[in-house]
């Protein structure tokens, strides 16, 4: 196996791990909303219909994967896409699947 193939294998593993964070309709819905700008947790719950507990779990996974981050304003958490690659990919997905026709 050449060095090039070994490097590509390593990058493919990293890409697969990155994509696993996106591999949920709920997480993709959340990311579609965040692709349009930061949102509070309450707004995300309201807009998606995902329950508070489930929303917290999805946001925790996205945060753990390094796809999103948050800022705190008093008691309110505002989430946003923090990973440049995720923002770029979500831009494509947003234009293809999320935006209104």
Task: List the CATH number of the domain containing 26.
Answer: 1.10.10.10
How many domains in the chain? 1
| 98 against 28, higher pLDDT | 28
Rounded to an integer, what distance in angstroms lies between the CA atom of residue 92 and that of residue 87?
9
Please answer whether residues 85 and 71 qualify as being in contact, where contact means their C-beta atoms are separated by less than 8 angstroms.
no
Model confidence pLDDT, tens digit, residues 23-44: 899 999 999 999 989 999 999 9
At 12 the three-state DSSP class reads: helix
pTM: 0.84
Q: Which residue range forms the structural domain that includes residue 52?
A: 3-98
């Amino acid at each position: 196996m050449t060095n090039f193939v070994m490097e590509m294998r390593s990058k493919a593993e990293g890409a697969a791990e990155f994509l696993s964070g996106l591999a949920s309709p709920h997480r993709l819905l959340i990311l579609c909303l965040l692709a349009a700008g930061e949102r509070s947790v309450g707004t995300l719950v309201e807009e998606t219909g995902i329950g508070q507990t489930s929303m917290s779990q999805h946001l925790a996974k996205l945060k753990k994967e390094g796809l999103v981050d948050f800022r705190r304003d008093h008691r309110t958490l505002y989430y946003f896409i923090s990973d440049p690659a995720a923002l770029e990919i979500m831009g494509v997905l947003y234009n293809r699947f999320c935006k209104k026709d």
